[in-house]
Amino acid sequence: MMDPTTFVLAVLALLATPGPTNTLLAASGASVGVIRSLKLVPAEIGGYLTAITLLIAVIGPLVAAHAVIAVGLKLAASLWLICCALRLWRNVDEEIGRSETSIRHVFITTLVNPKALIFALVIFPQGTPIETAPWLAGFSGLVVIVAIGWICFGAALAHSIGRLATPRRIRRAAALGLTAFATVLAGAAIY
């Protein structure tokens, strides 16, 4: 069984690493501020909990038996990130209130985030749903802390650079970031 301190440190280190979900959270914080972005936090939690639970119970054993499934999952995640990037790039001229990062995009992006695979198959202790429930609860609390940190980072960055942080530039930068993550993920799936 994993030591709780090691678990917390490992989860925080991986959650804090820049990635697709964090990019969306920071872009939202920069675009619409902290308060309006907080609605995205439950979507991230839901995406991770769904992915981790499925990976531990169903997909983990399949991936262990058939490596091609892992390749397919990575390629599907890359395609989703490209779709999100295209949406961000195309919607740069929309009015801010209508072009906010959606709950659905954060949920699905988190659901296919490669970090979920690492959480489920490396960091989380394996066991029955009852045995993993306390770990999932602690994980959820850590997600809240890190998500709010990324949202605040985005808002602070937009505030600090002032007029340079236009909605168009923020969304285009986020789109480029998502494209970079998609490219790295697809490359990892192929090689």
Span 53-94, pLDDT tens digits: 988 888 777 877 887 887 887 788 778 778 878 877 776 554
Give me the pLDDT at residue 172, please.
Answer: 78
Question: Smallest Cα–Cα separation from 185: which of 102, 88, 116?
Answer: 116
Pair of tokens at residue 186: 């697809």
Q: What is the average pLDDT across 122-146?
A: 90
Q: How confident is the model at residue 139 (pLDDT cuts 50, 70, 90)?
A: very high
pLDDT digits (tens, 9 = 90+) for 89-128: 776 554 444 457 889 999 999 998 888 888 887 788 877 8
| Secondary structure (3-state) at 187 | helix
Question: Smallest Cα–Cα separation from 123: which of 43, 52, 17?
Answer: 52
Straight-line distance from the first to the last Cα atom of the chain, in angstroms, rounded to the nearest whole number: 33
pTM of the model: 0.76
Instruction: Give the angle subtended at the CA of 54 by the CAs of 44 and 72, to the nearest 5°.
Output: 90
Give me the pLDDT at residue 96, please.
Answer: 42
Give me the pLDDT at residue 166, please.
Answer: 66
pLDDT digits (tens, 9 = 90+) for 12-48: 988 988 888 998 999 899 889 999 999 999 999 999 9
| Secondary structure (3-state) at 58 | helix
Question: Where along the chain do its domains lie?
Answer: 39-190
Structural contact between residues 116 and 51, judged by C-beta atoms closer than 8 angstroms? yes
